[in-house]
A = this chain, B = another copy of it.
Amino acid sequence: MRRIRITVAYDGTDFHGWQIQPDLPTIQGALQNAVSEIEGRPVQVDGSGRTDAGVHALAQVAAFSIANPIPTPNLKKALNRLLPPAIRVLSAEEAAPDFHPRRHARSKTYEYRIFRGEVCSPFERQYVLHHPYPLDTDRIIEAAAVFAGEHDFTAFAASDVSDAEGRSKVRTIFSTVARVEEDRLIYRVRGNGFLKHMVRNLVGTLLECGKGNLTPDDIRRLLVPGCGVKAGPTAPARGLFLVEVEY
């Protein structure tokens, strides 16, 4: 058996997220179908983490084990032939037998794209949040920096992530930068891990800052569990891209 590590780009628009679900198109499901077809038996594909329905990836990392003797350099082409065009394998290489894309990940980088112009191009409509309303971008840039460091992100976890799971909600954010690029506001965040919906909740909270409903000080309070401040709403999936996973 060889352990194969692949880097995968996908347009998440038409998928019900990464995680396999019966009778629904998912990224993991499509990859498992393709790998299983090559291997001639069901094969599990592990990812670096789940992405929500509608979230995109420029470079998700996944891995699987196969016995098929197909040369590793040919695997990329073979998989792309079997996958829908919305999912593309960018590279395939042999990895250590115990390589696990989630457990071994040291950091992940996400980017969220907001288009602020009046009319959103039809060709970008599924890849940005269109927000043609006033925003105090200086305040967003200031607020984004507040997330840096090790914090308890309970206030930014999806409400269905129960505390009973007992899993720590402490994460370390290595970099967190909002920037303005012409008609766009782009937020990029790199951390050692992210809770369910966390990036979209960070963005929703930054937008509340930009609208004047929250201050950077409110954000500091949000990073202390039980503070009583409410985070912003979950920003739509379509503006979010998983851009890099580091090992």
Listed in ascending order, the chain A residues whose CB lies under 8 Å from chain B are 9-11, 56, 76, 80, 85-90, 119-123, 125, 127, 130
Contacts and interface: CB of A to CB of B under 8 A. Distances in A.
B119 A80 contact: yes
A86 B86 CA distance: 18
Complex copy number for this chain: 2
Nearest to A91: B119
A17 to B, nearest CB: 15
A133 to B, nearest CB: 13
Contact of A125 (B56, B76, B86, B89): B86
B11 A87 contact: no
Contact of A123 (B11, B89, B120, B122): B11
23 contacts: A9-B121, A9-B122, A9-B123, A10-B122, A11-B122, A11-B123, A11-B125, A56-B122, A56-B123, A76-B119, A85-B120, A85-B125, A85-B130, A86-B122, A86-B125, A87-B122, A88-B119, A88-B120, A88-B121, A88-B122, A89-B119, A90-B119, A123-B127
> Considering the complex of A and B, which 8 residue pairs feature the smallest CB-CB distances, nearest first?
A11-B122, A85-B125, A86-B122, A88-B119, A10-B122, A88-B122, A9-B122, A11-B123
A91 to B, nearest CB: 9
Contacts of A10: 122
A125 B89 CA distance: 14
A191 B90 CA distance: 39
Name which of A56, A121, A130 has the most chain B CB atoms within 10 A of its CB.
A121
A86 B121 CA distance: 8
B90 A122 contact: no
Nearest to A10: B122
Contacts of A90: 119
Contacts of A56: 122-123
Nearest to A83: B122
Contacts of A85: 120, 122, 125, 130
Contacts of A80: 119
A88 B117 CA distance: 13
